[in-house]
Amino acid sequence: MGSNLVIDTVTTFETGSGEALTPYVLKLTSTGEGNAETDETIYADIVAKDGTKETVTFGSIGSKTTGYKFFKSSIANIDLDHLVLYMNNNADKSKIKSVSLIRGGTSNLNGAYTIPVYAEISQSNPWTGSLDSTVAAVDLKTSTQDNSGTDSGIAMGVVNTSGQSLGTTPIRFDTDRNHLESGDTDTAYFSASGLTADAIAGFTLKSDTGGDNSGWSLESMSNLKLLAAVRDGLSESVTDIAPGSLQTNQWIIQRDYAYTFMLSTAQTRQYQMDFKTSTKKDAGTDSDIQICLYNAAGESSGWIQQWHYNNPSGRDLNEKGDVNSLNFATDKDLGEITHIEIQTDDSGSHSDWYPEYVHVTPLWNGAAAGETAVFNINKWIEESGFTYTFYSEKYLAGNSQDTIAQLTNACNINLFEHLREDIIDRLMAATTTDLHIRLKNHDSISKELLQKLKDNGKNLLVEYYDDAEEYRYGWLFRAEDMTDITGDINMAITEVTPDATALGQIGGDRQVVQLHFAQSGDLGLTAGIRYRLPSGIGAEGQGYTIYHQNDNGRLSEITTGMLSDTGCVAFSITGGSDYLVALDAAQPGAPAVTKPAAAAPGTGIASTSTAMIAAAIIGLAVLILGAAVLVKRRR
Each residue's pLDDT tens digit, 315-339: 677 778 889 888 999 988 899 999 9
Asked if residue 392 belongs to a domain, the reply is no
Q: Which of residues 452, 471, 490 is at a domain's end? A: 490
In angstroms, how far apart are the furthest CA atoms of the chain?
Answer: 149
Would you state the pLDDT for residue 454? 92
341 touches 389 (CB < 8 A): yes
Whole-number Å distance between alpha carbons of 270 and 259: 8
> Residue 393: in which H helix or E strand, if any?
helix 393-397
Q: Which of residues 470, 490, 510 is at a domain's end? A: 490
Whole-number Å distance between alpha carbons of 431 and 474: 23
Query: Chain centroid to CA 35: how far?
Result: 34
Question: Which of 549, 564, 537, 569 has its CA nearest to residue 498?
Answer: 549
Would you state the pLDDT for residue 61? 79
> Residue 237: in which H helix or E strand, if any?
strand 237-252
- 351-381: b (≥16 Cβ within 10 Å) or e: bbbbbbbbbbbbbbbbeebbeebebbbebbb
Asked if residue 629 belongs to a domain, the reply is no
150 touches 210 (CB < 8 A): no
- 498-526: b (≥16 Cβ within 10 Å) or e: beeebbebbeeebbbbbbbbebeeebbbb
Same domain as 164, residue 120: no
486 touches 593 (CB < 8 A): no
Q: Which of residues 430, 456, 490 is at a domain's end? A: 490
The CB density around residue 591, as the number of other CB atoms within 10 Å, is 12
Same domain as 479, residue 508: no
- Strand pairing category for 80-87 and 66-73: unpaired
E strand residue ranges, 104-236 = 113-121, 127-129, 134-142, 154-160, 169-170, 185-191, 200-207, 216-228, 230-231
Same domain as 258, residue 273: no
C-alpha distances out from residue 568 to 90, 130, 563, Å: 57, 66, 6
Asked if residue 434 belongs to a domain, the reply is yes
* Residue 274: CA count within 13 A, CB half-sphere: 16
Asked if residue 78 belongs to a domain, the reply is yes
Ramachandran angles phi, psi of 448, nearest 5°:
-65, -40
Would you state the pLDDT for residue 405? 43
389 touches 408 (CB < 8 A): yes
Would you state the pLDDT for residue 39? 72
Q: Using alpha carbons only, how large is the chain's radius of gyration in Å?
A: 36
64 touches 36 (CB < 8 A): yes
| DSSP one-letter string for 175-192 | SSS--S-TT-EEEEEEE-
Mark the ranges of the chain whose per-residue pLDDT is less than 70.
Answer: 1-19, 36, 63-64, 105-111, 307-315, 398-427, 430-431, 440-442, 586-635
Asked if residue 626 belongs to a domain, the reply is no
Same domain as 257, residue 149: yes
Same domain as 589, residue 509: yes
Same domain as 255, residue 137: yes
205 touches 197 (CB < 8 A): no
Asked if residue 396 belongs to a domain, the reply is no
Domain with residue 298: its CATH number is: 2.60.60.20
Whole-number Å distance between alpha carbons of 88 and 115: 22
Same domain as 254, residue 238: yes
| DSSP one-letter string for 247-293 | EEEEEE-SBT--EEEESSGGG--EEEEEEEE--STT----S-EEEEE
The CB density around residue 403, as the number of other CB atoms within 10 Å, is 17
Q: Give the contacts of 118 (CB within 8 A, at least 6 positions apart).
A: 31, 96, 97, 98, 135, 172, 189, 190, 191
> Residue 277: in which H helix or E strand, if any?
strand 270-277
Would you state the pLDDT for residue 286? 79
Same domain as 328, residue 408: no
Parent domain of 541: 493-613
Same domain as 482, residue 420: yes
Would you state the pLDDT for residue 629? 28
Each residue's pLDDT tens digit, 436-488: 777 766 678 888 888 988 998 989 888 888 878 788 999 999 999 998 898 88
Same domain as 127, residue 26: yes
The C-alpha angle 399, 404, 409, rounded to 5 degrees, equals 90
Same domain as 258, residue 344: no
- Strand pairing category for 459-465 and 434-439: parallel
Whole-number Å distance between alpha carbons of 7 and 104: 5
Task: Give the N- to C-terminal CA distance of the chain in Å, as an integer.
Answer: 134
Number of separate domains in the chain: 5
Query: Chain centroid to CA 441: how far?
Result: 36
Each residue's pLDDT tens digit, 373-423: 999 888 888 878 788 888 888 887 765 444 444 444 443 333 444 444 555
Ramachandran angles phi, psi of 73, nearest 5°:
-135, 150
Whole-number Å distance between alpha carbons of 489 and 423: 21
Ramachandran angles phi, psi of 628, nearest 5°:
-65, -45
Query: In a 3-state reduction of DSSP, which class is residue 505?
Result: helix
Asked if residue 582 belongs to a domain, the reply is yes
Same domain as 563, residue 600: yes
219 conformational bin, left if phi > 0, alpha if psi -120 to 50, beta if neither: alpha
Is 387 buried (19+), middle (13-18) or exposed (0-12) by CB count in 10 A?
middle
Query: In a 3-state reduction of DSSP, which class is residue 451?
Result: helix
Would you state the pLDDT for residue 151? 92
Asked if residue 399 belongs to a domain, the reply is no
